[in-house]
């Protein structure tokens, strides 16, 4: 499984419906599970982004599908990055 980190920003629609943010997060977990994605953490944050999601997906295509589905709902915008643990980076850089 590949690891992804998604930075989340509320849209105007999402900010107006902020009281339902925890329910939407639970729906996201269920949506992710249906795609074979494991959500490790969901954080609400202060600063440049309103939230952070850490999840593992079978591949980048599945991660993209999940993020497209989330964005289509209109409550958040996401910026998602694939992340690598030290053991993976060690394997990548050992061939250099």
pLDDT value at residue 94: 86
Does this model's pTM top 0.85? My answer is yes
Please tell me the total number of residues recorded for the chain in this structure.
96
What does the alpha-carbon distance between residue 3 and residue 35 come to, in Å, rounded to a whole number? 15
CATH number, domain 2-93, options 3.40.50.300, 3.40.50.720, 3.10.640.10, 3.30.70.1060: 3.30.70.1060
Domain boundaries, the chain: 2-93
Segment 17-70, tens digit of pLDDT: 999 999 999 999 999 999 999 999 999 999 999 999 999 999 999 999 999 999
Closest CA to 54 of 76, 36, 39: 39
| Whether residue 89 has pLDDT greater than 90 | no
| Whether residue 90 has pLDDT greater than 90 | no
């Amino acid at each position: 499984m590949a690891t992804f980190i998604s930075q989340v920003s509320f849209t105007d629609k999402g900010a107006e419906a902020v009281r339902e943010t925890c329910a939407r997060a639970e729906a996201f977990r269920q949506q992710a599970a249906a795609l074979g994605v494991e959500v490790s953490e969901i954080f609400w944050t202060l600063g440049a982004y309103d939230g952070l999601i850490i999840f593992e997906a079978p591949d980048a295509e599945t991660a993209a599908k999940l993020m497209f589905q989330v964005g289509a709902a209109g409550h958040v915008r996401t910026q998602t990055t694939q992340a690598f643990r030290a053991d993976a980076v060690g394997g990548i850089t050992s061939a250099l």
